[in-house]
Amino acid sequence: MAIDSKVVAQVAHLACLQVDDNETAALSERLNDILAMVDQLQQADVEGVAPLAHPLDVSQPLRDDQVTEPDVRERVMPIAPAIEEGCFLVPRVIE
């Protein structure tokens, strides 16, 4: 798969990144280089090799269902740019 300026713009949009039009050509070149490396990996013979979701051969430790986290509201609210009645405020989003 080759990445062109259009794909770069779309991925940037999905990731909420601001990318200027004059940057997309250079970015697509670099992304294509990465994909070329992935293509090389694709050529490896993985017949009989199980897919790997994680490089470590360990499993997820589980936690008992107990509430131990303190209420941090008073500490985090002042960090937010806008708050009201205990809510964080963001510019209006309506679907």
Partner 1 sequence: MSWETVIGLEVHVQLATASKLFSASSTRTGDEPNSNASLIDLAMPGTLPVVNREAIRHAIRFGLAIDAEIGRRSVFERKNYFYPDLPKGYQTTQLAEPIVGAGVVDLQLEDGTRKSVRIHHAHLEEDAGKSLHEAFSDETGRAMTGIDLNRAGTPLIEIVSEPDMSNAEEAVAFARKLHAIVTSLGISDGDMSQGNMRFDVNISVRRPGEPLGTRTETKNLNSFRFMEKAIKLEVERQIDVLENGGEVVQETRLYNGETNTARAMRSKEDANDYRYFPCPDLLPVLVSEEEINELRDALPELPDARKARFVEAYALSEYDAELLCADLATAAYFEAAAKQGGDAKLAANWVMGELTARLNADDIGIAQSPVSAEHLGELIQRIKDGTISSKIAKQVFDACWAGEGSPDQIIESKGLKQMSDTGELEKIVDDIIANHPAQVEDYRGSDDAKRKKKIGFFVGQAMKATQGKANPQQLNQLLQQKLNG
- Residues contributing to the site for partner 1 (CB under 8 A): 10, 14-16, 53-54, 56, 58-73, 76-77, 82, 84-95
DSSP 3-state assignment of 84? strand
Report, in Å, the least distance between residue 45 CB and partner 1.
22
Q: Which is nearer to partner 1, 11 or 32 (CB)?
A: 11
3-state secondary structure of 83: strand
Tokens of 76: 């985090």
Shortest separation between residue 94's beta carbon and partner 1, angstroms: 6
Q: Which is nearer to partner 1, 47 or 57 (CB)?
A: 57
Helix, strand or coil, per DSSP, at residue 52: coil
- Kindly tell me which of 41 and 82 has the beta carbon lying closer to partner 1: 82
Contacts of residues 58-62 at CB distance under 8 Å and 24 or more positions apart, as own/partner, are: none
Shortest Å distance, C-beta 13 to partner 1: 10
Closest CA to 5 of 25, 33, 22, 34: 25
